[in-house]
A and B are shown apart, each in its own frame.
Chain A
Amino acid sequence: MAPPTRAGDYPFAPVDRVNAELFTLTYGAIVRQLLTDFEEVEEVNKQLDTMGYNIGVRLIDDFLAKSNITRCSEFKDTAEVIAKVGFKMFLGVSATVSNWSADGSECSLILDDNPLADFVELPDTCQGLFYCNILCGVIRGALEMVSMRTEVKFVKDMLRGDDAFEIRLKLLEQVAEEYPYKDDE
């Protein structure tokens, strides 16, 4: 496929949609289950990240199937694609890429809107909770499937009083595909 002129110009097929409230409330039910199962807020943050990762390793194929993207090898373009196409396709919102580090290995995704956080206010007992942490896991999992090992975390969270939702994305390495079997297998 000829590369589009700008990342983010990738057209994607119209997708089936559901009421965002079903999604938001279901996510709320998941967070509530985790808070009951783990008690410690730190553990819940970790678990949300893991669940997101599990989602990411699946979601990538749906994304690739719908977006018609045939390769993602440049980190810079990939970040744009996540912000402009990924968020739009799945959550109906878009994000902005900014704050690139000098060496091009780190950037921020700033969300304009965040359907996961609708109706949410953190009670005093959950102040350390990164309520939307699942998003970090999703991005990490999806990128790992296209050979990018990353570190992804929230650096700003409106539910904790910040002025935006900001996710920091750091490329650790790009992993080449190697022959997976050992000879004696």
Chain B
Amino acid sequence: MIGVGRSKQNLNVVDRPLGKGKTEVSLSAFAFLFSELVQYNQTRVDNIAELERRLEDAGYAVGIRMLELLCHREKGNRRETRLLNILSFVHSTVWKSLFGKVADSLEKGTEHEDEYMISEKELLVNRYISVPKDMGAFNCGAFVAGVVKGVLDGAGFPARVTAHFVAVEGQPRPRTTILIKFSEEVLQREARLG
């Protein structure tokens, strides 16, 4: 049956045209929603590590869906199969659609072959935050680490992803580095592909 006269919202969700991802809400709306995500999860945990894990889980759910949306919209339903390509996809395409800009930098770890770092001078989720001393190294970037993990996992590149504050010389505020450590199988496959 053709849905004549039915509004967009009344169509079954899969029959609706997928938006172009250009609509926007205010940054404040996101900031408040995100704050409440953090506040709510603080009531469900006993320690910082658990809080970060729950934020990562929430981010993961966003990442895995973002991958689907972007592959469909930007890549004609194809996705990257090579390590450097998927990293650059995260650093540029994913970042640009989520945060309106490509990430400040993407680097390979100097000590370990399987590590890569995406850094951001002022990560969106850390823009307004002051972390009290008793919360130690807590980093809301765990949410973004989860997003990255979701994208990578969904694309077949399982990895451990964590967020860290890194002091920057001459800057009052630290930057956030998202550290990606790929699973062994990913590196082995990459080696086979040559």
Q: Do chains A and B touch in the complex (CB under 8 A)?
A: yes
Which residues of chain A have a CB within 8 Å of any CB of chain B? 15-23, 25-30, 32-33, 37, 51, 54-55, 58-59, 62, 66, 89-92, 113-115, 117-121, 158, 163
Judged by DSSP, the binding face of B is helix
A30 touches B33 (CB 8 A): yes
Shortest distance from the beta carbon of B110 to any chain A beta carbon, whole Å: 32
A30 touches B32 (CB 8 A): no
B61 touches A18 (CB 8 A): no
B36 touches A17 (CB 8 A): no
CA–CA, A32 and B57, complex, Å: 10
Contact with A along B11-41 (1 / 0, CB 8 A): 0111000010101111111101111110111
CA–CA, A140 and B30, complex, Å: 19
Given known A-B contacts A54-B39, A55-B32, A59-B28, A25 and B23 have beta carbons under 8 A apart: no
Interfacial chain A residues near B36, Cβ < 8 Å:
30, 51, 54-55
A115's partner among B23, B41, B98, B100 (CB-CB below 8 A) is B23
CB-CB nearest in chain A for B10: A158
Shortest distance from the beta carbon of B42 to any chain A beta carbon, whole Å: 12
Please provide the chain B residues from 34 to 82 with a CB less than 8 Å away from any CB of chain A in the complex. Answer: 34-37, 39-41, 44, 54, 57-59, 61-62, 65-66, 69
B54 touches A90 (CB 8 A): no
Interfacial chain B residues near A118, Cβ < 8 Å:
19
B13 touches A23 (CB 8 A): no
Given known A-B contacts A18-B99, A19-B97, A29-B62, A121 and B28 have beta carbons under 8 A apart: no
CA–CA, A82 and B41, complex, Å: 29
CA–CA, A15 and B30, complex, Å: 12
Contact with A along B153-171 (1 / 0, CB 8 A): 0000000000000000000
Interfacial chain A residues near B10, Cβ < 8 Å:
158, 163
CB-CB nearest in chain B for A165: B9
Is there a chain A Cβ closer than 8 Å to B123's Cβ? no
Given known A-B contacts A18-B99, A37-B44, A117-B9, A26 and B34 have beta carbons under 8 A apart: yes
Question: Which of A22, A30, A119, A158 lies at the interface centre, i.e. has the most chain B CB atoms within 10 A of its CB?
Answer: A22
Shortest distance from the beta carbon of A68 to any chain B beta carbon, whole Å: 15
